[in-house]
Amino acid sequence: MPRAHIELDKQAVVAPVRRRTFGAFVEHLGRGVYTGLYEPEHPSANDEGFRMDVVELVRELGSTTVRYPGGNFVSGFRWEDSIGPRDKRPVRRDLSWHSLESNQVGLDEFARWLKLTDSELMLSVNVATRGILPALDLLEYANHPSGTALSDLRIANGTREPHNVRMWCLGNEMDGPWQTGFMTADGYGKIAARTAAAMKMADKDLELVVCGSSGSGMPTFGDWERTVLEHAYDHVDYVSCHAYYQEHDGDLGSFLASAIDMDYFIDTVVATADHVGYKKRSNKKINISFDEWNVWYLKEHQESGDVNDVWRHAPRQLEDKYTVADAVVVGNLLMTLLRRSDRVTSASLAQLVNVIAPIMTEPGGPAWRQTTFHPFSITSRLASGEVIRPVIETPTYETARHGEASVIDAVATADEDRAAVFLVNRDLREAAQVTIDVRGLGSSRIAEAVTLADSDVYAKNTLADQNRVTPSANPSATLADGVLTIELPPVSWTAIALR
């Protein structure tokens, strides 16, 4: 049996646990909005047409900030289409996902939905195919209290109080040739800087996110961030990172170690941003908004040509069904984001409902939790106070994609009177015994120990079997003389709450 030992010391603080680490993403894509959040005919729908069964699950998920309305969608979006009387809103073609957008849900409705879920709105503006003025108009409509044309229009449309959106994304994945209106780093950097500067003339306290690379595999990765930040450094607050992982060619060992790539990605972007900052003799630090991350079976979607030939409204797109192994990876990626909370100060699981999502729905039918729902929800519930950097002694294994990987990975959080430890065992066959010295946390009691694992690592939750995979109490956890001992099944994710 592989054995690992972890030392935790409350003094080894990385940064505060940031609630925005538990952000999510809702794009007008497939059934993310229509028949996902919004389905007026559904038995659980409220007066506004929002599915309350989904609202309940979102609250249980514990997501915080929600990025909206895209994604690739935003690069063809005219925000003005989605406000005002619903019967006057135009139907448009969305070129990025090759579908029809009815605009029946727009900014005002979505903001009201967010209130039901106690979440914060993070808005993307279309810098790809529009300009500075439409971005300023949206800002005025969303945030100005009253007494101007667009703030009064918002009030006339039924929203008296401003939405007061703090975080704004300056476009989406502008380096990707799939993006409507994609740009070079130099072209985008200049536009982003000018748009950001103008938005800050309206409100200097906005938090603005400039697009980084759409993945660390992009040929321009690194150079893109450097060039864009050379233009926009003084005007923005965050640079974005996007990363999706999947199992390739049956190589589960590499897939389980995906968090190594995320770490490398963060290191590189932080180094690049700091390089630009030092060159500019700036005291300011640019942090990371990891505003798209998840497991996504992208290769399969691309190969199956999962794009509509016919223009349909809310087609089934990107409805990945997640396995136990996927949930272990998602749990591990979230652990990595927490461990990097010194510089990753906002993140968004992509996405929230139906589209590569932790929550699935059936039109007219139930809503249920995917496997990946569980590590996210439990981590959001248990992580509090400060992130603690663990010292981990663990066996390692070789992976084809990421080199040497730890069998056991961990992160901890600690508050005044409670602490939590999150763990994965990446071993494909064997359970691991882990001892954790928790004396440095001042913890003396296990309040909860839950593990997500299954004898079939490819087991999924489906419409027919919605609770096939759920976390269960781990009875092996004991705590004596300040040392916690626990057995972790192969390919598993675990959370331990301590008092």
Residues annotated as catalytic are 173, 292
State the nearest-atom distance from the C-beta of 279 to ligand AHR, in Å.
29
Q: Is 27 in the site for ligand AHR (CB under 6 A)?
A: yes
Q: How far is CA 49 from the centre of its chain?
A: 25
Token digits of residue 271: 């180094």
> Looking at this protein, which amino acid is placed at residue 472?
S
State the nearest-atom distance from the C-beta of 304 to ligand AHR, in Å.
16
Are 220 and 185 contacting, i.e. CB atoms less than 8 angstroms apart? Answer: yes
Residue, CB closest to ligand AHR: 71
The residue ranges of DSSP E strands in 17-76, in sequence order, are: 23-25, 65-68
User: Which of 94, 173, 247, 320: binder of ligand AHR (CB under 6 A)?
Assistant: 173
Candidates 69-77, 150-158, 437-445, 451-459; binding stretch for ligand AHR (CB under 6 A): 69-77
Q: Which C-beta is closer to ligand AHR: that of 80 or that of 175? A: 175
Token digits of residue 41: 């005919």
Distance CA 482, CA 6 (A): 12
488: β partners: 432
Q: Is 385 in the site for ligand AHR (CB under 6 A)?
A: no
Q: Is 71 in the site for ligand AHR (CB under 6 A)?
A: yes
> Exposed (0-12), middle (13-18) or buried (19+): which is 455, by Cβ within 10 Å?
exposed
CB atoms within 10 A of CB 121: 22
Distance CA 110, CA 99 (A): 20
Q: Which C-beta is closer to ligand AHR: that of 39 or that of 320? A: 320
Q: Is 101 in the site for ligand AHR (CB under 6 A)?
A: no
H or E stretch including 154?
helix 149-156
User: Which of 175, 247, 292, 320: binder of ligand AHR (CB under 6 A)?
Assistant: 292
Q: Which C-beta is closer to ligand AHR: that of 254 or that of 317? A: 317
State the nearest-atom distance from the C-beta of 207 to ligand AHR, in Å.
19
User: Which of 70, 253, 471, 490: binder of ligand AHR (CB under 6 A)?
Assistant: 70
Candidates 65-73, 444-452, 463-471, 484-492; binding stretch for ligand AHR (CB under 6 A): 65-73
Candidates 66-74, 81-89, 219-227, 488-496; binding stretch for ligand AHR (CB under 6 A): 66-74
153: β partners: none
List the one residue out of 427, 437, 419, 395 whose CA is nearest residue 493: 427
User: Which of 75, 103, 119, 172: binder of ligand AHR (CB under 6 A)?
Assistant: 172
List the one residue out of 431, 450, 449 whose CA is nearest residue 489: 431
Q: Which C-beta is closer to ligand AHR: that of 182 or that of 397? A: 182
Distance CA 462, CA 328 (A): 18
Are 10 and 388 contacting, i.e. CB atoms less than 8 angstroms apart? Answer: yes
Token digits of residue 35: 């028949």
Q: Is 30 in the site for ligand AHR (CB under 6 A)?
A: no
Peptide bond into 71 cis (omega under 30): yes
Q: Which C-beta is closer to ligand AHR: that of 72 or that of 371? A: 72
Q: Is 63 in the site for ligand AHR (CB under 6 A)?
A: no
Here's the x/- map for ligand AHR, 247-266, by CB under 6 A: it reads as --------------------
Q: Is 94 in the site for ligand AHR (CB under 6 A)?
A: no
Q: Is 351 in the site for ligand AHR (CB under 6 A)?
A: yes
Q: Which C-beta is closer to ligand AHR: that of 30 or that of 471? A: 30
Q: Which C-beta is closer to ligand AHR: that of 22 or that of 25? A: 25
User: Which of 191, 350, 353, 408: binder of ligand AHR (CB under 6 A)?
Assistant: 350
Distance CA 499, CA 443 (A): 5
Are 431 and 489 contacting, i.e. CB atoms less than 8 angstroms apart? Answer: yes
Q: Is 409 in the site for ligand AHR (CB under 6 A)?
A: no
Q: Is 451 in the site for ligand AHR (CB under 6 A)?
A: no
List the one residue out of 87, 93, 83 whose CA is nearest residue 137: 83
Pairing between β-strand 13-16 and β-strand 483-488 as defined by DSSP bridges:
unpaired
The residues of the shown chain that bind ligand AHR, judged by CB under 6 A, are 27, 70-72, 172-173, 214, 292, 350-351
